[in-house]
Amino acid sequence: MTNMFTNTSLLRKSRAAAELRFRWFGRIAIGISLAFLFIMVGSIINKGKSVLISSDIAIIIDLGPNQVDPNNINQTGFDALIKRSLRATFPEITSRSDKKKLYGLLSADMGFELQKQIIANPNLLGISQKLWFTASDDVDLLLKGSVDLTTQEGDRRISNLEINWIAKLKKSGNTRSHFNKKFFMNGDSREPELAGILSALVGSILTLSVCFFVSFPIAILAAIYLEEFAPKNKISSFIEVNINNLAAVPSIVFGLLGLALLLNVFGLPRSTPLVGGLVLSLMTLPTIIIAARASLRSVSPSIREAALGMGASPIQATFHHVVPLALPGILTGTIVGMAQALGETAPLLMIGMVAFIADVPSSIIEPATALPVQIFLWADASERAFLEKTSAAIMVLLVFLILMNLLAILLRKKFEKRF
Amino acid sequence: MEIKTDTINSLKLNKNTPIIQAKNVDVFYGYKQALDNISLDIPENKVTSLIGPSGCGKSTFLRCINRMNDLVSICRVTGEIKIFNQDIYAQEVDVVALRANVGMVFQKPNPFPKSIYENVAYGPKIHRLSSNKSDMDELVEWSLRKAGLWEEVKDRLNEVGTGLSGGQQQRLCIARAIAVKPRVILMDEPCSALDPIATAIIEELIDELRNNFSIIIVTHSMQQAARVSQRTAFFHMGNLVESGKTKNIFTSPKDERTQNYITGRIG
């Protein structure tokens, strides 16, 4: 006898098939999105990972008293000294254009680097010895194997001649690679081998701090008032509609507002984290308000009734019972808003944070740039070596974002446990 | 045990003066009239039950007594409700003081998601009823004992109140309500979410509590009304049809609608 509960009827079969189909559609959708995520992150990491390594070149430099005056170090022509030493390393080079290429093997900062090394260690003076210098961006790429040597010479930024010199240096042990501290310790630079992310990172942190301290209190108070205290009438629903609309306004419009109002009317300092943070907080406010209101609304009304029924005043009911329960959601909403602000470029362009800033800002009223703007600037630069910098900057931005989300999860866990 | 009391708690009524007097109370939700000209007296230290079919207005009336209806913006109350001969809808009345004297237990147990101790201590804390920790401990114990919960929870006062069973949660809510020593306790179908055993415990508790408090209970169960209350008021479609001693209402109702309801023909 057949089991009477088996799937035999056509209806049951098609129902089961529909369910199976739907499950597979869901799995395929997740698979596609995961694949795109992996392709994106993978290609960024692949392009950006080489930034972690930078290359040096060693040359023998005569620091004898007739080259450098020990009593008056800063008067020395360090660039010329290095150039002389380079020529001594490759005595066969005679033509002017080749000499220029030869000098280009080292970073444009070579003179400073020598000066710094001597000041840090005066014992170097007086003798002739081997010293290390940062290689220029093209040499760095070559040493890291990022240059395709099969292409025509004219299609490369580095000529066969230079490749031979580097090969010779490499053979004699005069090149080395090491962890690229400069990328994390320097500000932006015109020279890719010297450019670093620190000024943009600090700029982003300062900008976000301003954004947080302005938007969080205002948004939370507005949300609590609108949700718990405001009378439900035409005015409050008008405000609600407008807050929702504000959240959908393109961010560049906020940038224009910041430009017109904060810079031109109030005369706040241009390109500073202060103005950037204020503009971003305009953008973040509606996001936090909406998230906080949703979170407050999701607190069971029975808790409010219980507190009010005890004789708690509305403000006691709100702050003793409703807000603590809504806090995890409020914090998550806040961090989502902040993460959005972190990735925002357009409004910062409008208020001048796109300027070339080499110094690390130390206060909110100093000119600064931000991570997404830095990515934009580097992506736009012509030097090939900025390509890896761009990817690396994106990685830094992503790590920052992941850390912020981690914080959101931790805060959520912490406040949920209390109840 | 010495507990500070609000002024109203020291008020004494003459024997036979009702603690609550409602006169010509009308309630509107927007344009819809929910209660029509209700006049009802509630005696002190007795259990009064409000019965009637769904939507008859009994819960609305209950919520007028501690002005919980104020929370509904479209709700409008006219007429007069006096507690201890004082009009609770007068201009100068502070609902916070009113609700401290008229406690409420809700249909669904709604303890705060905090510890059992904090649940009970919350009311005394916000009304500043106890000055120090040992006073508060005593008050919490007194309330939990009154609510018949002390023996079950005395070893786990720091566990969350929401972790208790449904019946225990409801008794915790009762303990929380009586901790501020109100004179009146309103109960809005307190047993509708509970099983028969928990219900029996709560009913027993209500019977004990009436020695100290005047209780008004809204219930759907006529057996419950008959078991716990001394007075009963029957509501129907926003009208107060009949009120009187529970015994009389259930054995010899004067109105046909009451007769029909208690025999199960309407409702």
More confident residue, A9 or B152: B152
Question: Using the beta-carbon criterion (under 8 Å), do A309 and B68 form an inter-chain contact?
Answer: yes
Share of chain B above pLDDT 90, in %: 45
Q: Provide mean pLDDT across the span A108-113.
A: 86
Distance CA B195, CA B157 (A): 24
From its phi and psi, is residue B218 left (phi > 0), alpha (psi between -120 and 50) or beta? beta
Q: What is the pLDDT of residue A91?
A: 86
- Mutation site, B98, B122, B189, interface A, largest A CB count within 10 A: B122
Task: Give tens-digit pLDDT for A304-363.
Answer: 999 998 888 889 999 999 999 999 899 989 998 999 999 999 999 988 888 888 888 888
- Mutation site, A310, A318, A419, interface B, largest B CB count within 10 A: A310
> Does residue B40 surpass a pLDDT of 70?
yes
Beta bridge partners of B28: B33, B76
CATH numbers and ranges of domains, chain B: 15-262 (3.40.50.300)
Q: What is the pLDDT of residue A322?
A: 93
Distance CA B20, CA B43 (A): 7
Question: Using the beta-carbon criterion (under 8 Å), do A309 and B97 form an inter-chain contact?
Answer: no
Question: Residue B14 — pLDDT band, cuts 50, 70, 90?
Answer: low
- For the record, the structure tokens of A370 come out as 């931000």
Q: What is the pLDDT of residue B60?
A: 92
Q: What is the pLDDT of residue A62?
A: 84
- Name the residue in chain A with its Cα closest to that of B177: A310
Q: Provide mean pLDDT across the span B41-54.
A: 91
Distance CA B262, CA B267 (A): 9
Q: What is the pLDDT of residue A279?
A: 94
Task: Give tens-digit pLDDT for A159-211.
Answer: 888 888 888 888 888 899 989 988 999 888 888 888 999 999 999 999 999 99
Q: What is the pLDDT of residue B263?
A: 85
- Selected residues 223-252 of chain A with any CB under 8 Å from a CB in chain B: 231-232
Q: Provide mean pLDDT across the span B82-91.
A: 88
Residues in chain A within 8 Å Cβ distance of B127: 311
Distance CA B175, CA B213 (A): 13
Task: Give tens-digit pLDDT for A10-55.
Answer: 788 888 899 999 999 999 999 999 999 999 999 999 988 888 889 9
Task: Give tens-digit pLDDT for A401-418.
Answer: 999 989 888 888 888 755
> Looking at CA atoms only, how far is residue A338 from chain B in angstroms?
30
Question: Using the beta-carbon criterion (under 8 Å), do A306 and B108 form an inter-chain contact?
Answer: no
Contact A137, A190 (CB under 8 A): no
CATH numbers and ranges of domains, chain A: 55-178 (no CATH), 198-417 (1.10.3720.10)
Question: Using the beta-carbon criterion (under 8 Å), do B103 and A303 form an inter-chain contact?
Answer: no
Share of chain A above pLDDT 70, in %: 98
Please name the helix (run of DSSP H) or strand (run of DSSP E) that holds residue A47, with its range, or none.
Answer: helix A10-48
Is A311 in CB contact (< 8 Å) with chain B?
yes
Q: Provide mean pLDDT across the span B153-160.
A: 90
> Which member of B113, B114, B123 has the closest CB to residue A310?
B123
Contact A126, A63 (CB under 8 A): yes
ipTM over 0.90: no
Residues in chain B within 8 Å Cβ distance of A232: 73
Is A307 in CB contact (< 8 Å) with chain B?
yes
Distance CA B263, CA B258 (A): 8
Beta bridge partners of A363: none
Beta bridge partners of B78: B26
* Residue B184 CB partners (closer than 8 Å, separation 6+): B19, B20, B42, B65, B66, B83, B101, B102, B103, B213, B214, B215, B216
Contacts 24+ apart (CB under 8 A), A254-261: A254/A279, A254/A280, A254/A282, A254/A283, A254/A347, A255/A279, A255/A346, A255/A347, A255/A348, A255/A349, A255/A350, A255/A351, A256/A350, A257/A282, A258/A282, A258/A347, A258/A350, A258/A351, A259/A350, A259/A351
> Which member of B99, B113, B114 has the closest CB to residue A310?
B99
Residues in B whose CB is inside 8 Å of some CB of A read 66, 68, 71, 73, 96-100, 103-104, 106, 108, 110-114, 122-123, 126-127, 160, 173, 176-177, 180
Distance CA A325, CA A300 (A): 9
> Looking at CA atoms only, how far is residue B52 from chain A in angstroms?
24
Residues in chain B within 8 Å Cβ distance of A419: 113-114, 160
Question: Using the beta-carbon criterion (under 8 Å), do A309 and B111 form an inter-chain contact?
Answer: no
Distance CA A93, CA A95 (A): 6
> Does residue B7 surpass a pLDDT of 80?
no
Residues in chain A within 8 Å Cβ distance of B126: 310-312, 316, 320
Residues in chain B within 8 Å Cβ distance of A310: 99-100, 103, 122-123, 126, 176-177, 180
Question: Residue A68 — pLDDT band, cuts 50, 70, 90?
Answer: confident
CA distances in angstroms from A66 to A28, A117, A124, listed in the order given: 74, 19, 14
Q: What is the pLDDT of residue B2?
A: 34
Q: What is the pLDDT of residue B5?
A: 42
Q: Provide mean pLDDT across the span A64-79.
A: 79
Question: Residue B55 — pLDDT band, cuts 50, 70, 90?
Answer: confident
Residues in chain A within 8 Å Cβ distance of B113: 303, 325, 419
Task: Give tens-digit pLDDT for A214-252.
Answer: 999 999 999 999 998 888 889 989 999 999 999 889 999
Is A321 in CB contact (< 8 Å) with chain B?
yes
Question: Using the beta-carbon criterion (under 8 Å), do A419 and B126 form an inter-chain contact?
Answer: no
Distance CA A345, CA A259 (A): 14
Task: Give tens-digit pLDDT for A249-292.
Answer: 999 999 999 999 999 999 899 889 999 999 999 999 999 999 99
